[in-house]
Structures are given as structure tokens and as C-alpha cells.
Amino acid sequence: MQLSEELRDQIDQQITAQKAASNPLAEPTPQPIAPSYAIVWRGAIQTAALAGAIAAALALLSFALPPVTLLSFFWFISAPIIVMGVYSSRFRKTRITTGFGARLGLLTGLFILIVTSTLNTIGLVLQRFVFHSTAELDTQIEKLFAQVHTNFATQSQQSIKIMSDMLAIPEFRAGILLSSIFFGLVLYLAYSATAGAFAGYLRSRSPRA
């Protein structure tokens, strides 16, 4: 049965303390520096920021090459797990836990959402006010709300009819779109934290070199 590195260090410190107590006149033995198992948050932030930079590069490429959007989707899904692997290989003394994996995954999701949301917002502003090329998008949104309005109009309940009338208000439609986007962002952050926690759990069960 092999003792862990942390337990061996504790035993060595106890033996040294016992020798010093039994012979107080002897010169003190230099204490070995215990290895640090703490989280290196600077490195964690840098690794998560790298994931955001890759997401930004893929988002920019997707504007010119639409097929890259599929690659961006796969990066969104795998980034929290890959970031955990990169951090674990860079800082091998850090004790990886499920909780740390969840926090690193959440941090990765935040960086990705910040950069991609910023780029998408800038892209939409340019398309609408500079290139005037959002007619197709506006038509799709209008068709979607028209279909929902038609479905509500066929219902006889008073509450459904009230909802149908509210769909004709532009501000209400904008609120629905913003709420949908916010809900999607929250879902992705929840996924990032869960994926990071799963990666941390797997790393915590693997032996560290």
C-alpha cells in the first residue's frame, strides 16, 4: 500500500518535530517546503481566457465562412472539458476536485459568452445600420410571431386572446426575444459548470504524477 505524497510529508514533519523535542540543543533541521496544492487562479483565468479567444476566432471566421459555425458549436460543447485538461497538465500539483471543475467550467462559459455575445451584437448592428442586410432575419421573426398569433387566435379562452393581442405589440415581442436570449445564456452557463464538474470529478479519481 503506497502512501500519498501529502501523507508522507506529514509523517516526515512529525518525525522531525519528535527529534527536535528529544534533543533541544541540536541544530534545527531545515524544514522542507511542502508542495502547494492550492488553486492557481491566475493560471485558471488565463486558460479560460484562451478558450474565449478561440471562440472569438471561430466566431469571426463563421462570418466569412458559415460552415465554421458547426465547428464553433462543437467548441462551445467541449471547451469546459478541454480547459480542465489544459489546466491540469500545466499545474500538476493542484488538487483537482469536482467543485473546482465546476468553477473553472463556469469561468470558461463566462469568457466564451462575453466574447461571442459582443461579436454577435457588433455584427447585428453592422448588418442592420451599415449593410442593411437583416431583411431575411426580420422576415423569419415576423413569420414566427405571426404563426404563434394565429395559433392563439384560434383558442376560445380569454387569457389566450389577451396573450394574442399582446403579441401584436412590438415592445412585447422584443421582451420575448431578450428573455429567450437570456434563458439560453443561463442554460449554457449551467452546462459549462456541469461539464467542468464532470471533468473535475474524473480528474480527481485519476492518479497524479
Read off the pLDDT of residues 117-138 as tens digits, 9 standing for 90 and up: 999 888 888 777 766 666 666 6
- For residue 8, the model assigns a pLDDT of 57
Q: At 75, list the grid cell.
A: 467548441
Q: Considering the domain boundaries, does residue 15 fall inside one? A: no
Q: Considering the domain boundaries, does residue 2 fall inside one? A: no
Q: Considering the domain boundaries, does residue 136 fall inside one? A: yes
Which residue range forms the structural domain that includes residue 133? Answer: 41-205
Q: At 141, list the grid cell.
A: 421573426
Q: Considering the domain boundaries, does residue 96 fall inside one? A: yes
| Contact call for residues 60 and 71 (beta carbons, < 8 A) | no
Find where cell 422576415 sits: 139
CA-closest candidate to residue 96, choices 5, 104, 10, 185: 104
pLDDT over 50 (residue 33): no
pLDDT over 90 (residue 44): yes
180 — pLDDT class (breaks 50, 70, 90): confident
| Cα torsion through 185, 187, 192, 198, rounded to 10 | 180
Q: Considering the domain boundaries, does residue 170 fall inside one? A: yes
Q: Considering the domain boundaries, does residue 19 fall inside one? A: no
pLDDT over 50 (residue 65): yes
Q: Which of 13-17, 30-34, 144-148, 169-173 has the lowest mean pLDDT?
A: 30-34
Q: How far is CA 105 from the centre of its chain?
A: 4
The pTM for the full model equals: 0.69
| Contact call for residues 201 and 104 (beta carbons, < 8 A) | no
Number of domains in the chain: 1
The number of CA neighbours under 13 Å toward the Cβ of 154 is 5
Q: Considering the domain boundaries, does residue 67 fall inside one? A: yes
CA-closest candidate to residue 111, choices 189, 194, 59: 189
| Contact call for residues 106 and 83 (beta carbons, < 8 A) | no
Q: At 3, list the grid cell.
A: 502512501
- For residue 209, the model assigns a pLDDT of 56
2 — pLDDT class (breaks 50, 70, 90): very low
Find where cell 527529534 sits: 19
The SS3 call for residue 208 is coil
Q: Considering the domain boundaries, does residue 9 fall inside one? A: no
Helices (H), the chain: 5-22, 41-64, 68-90, 98-129, 135-153, 158-166, 170-205
Count how many residues are written for the chain.
Answer: 209
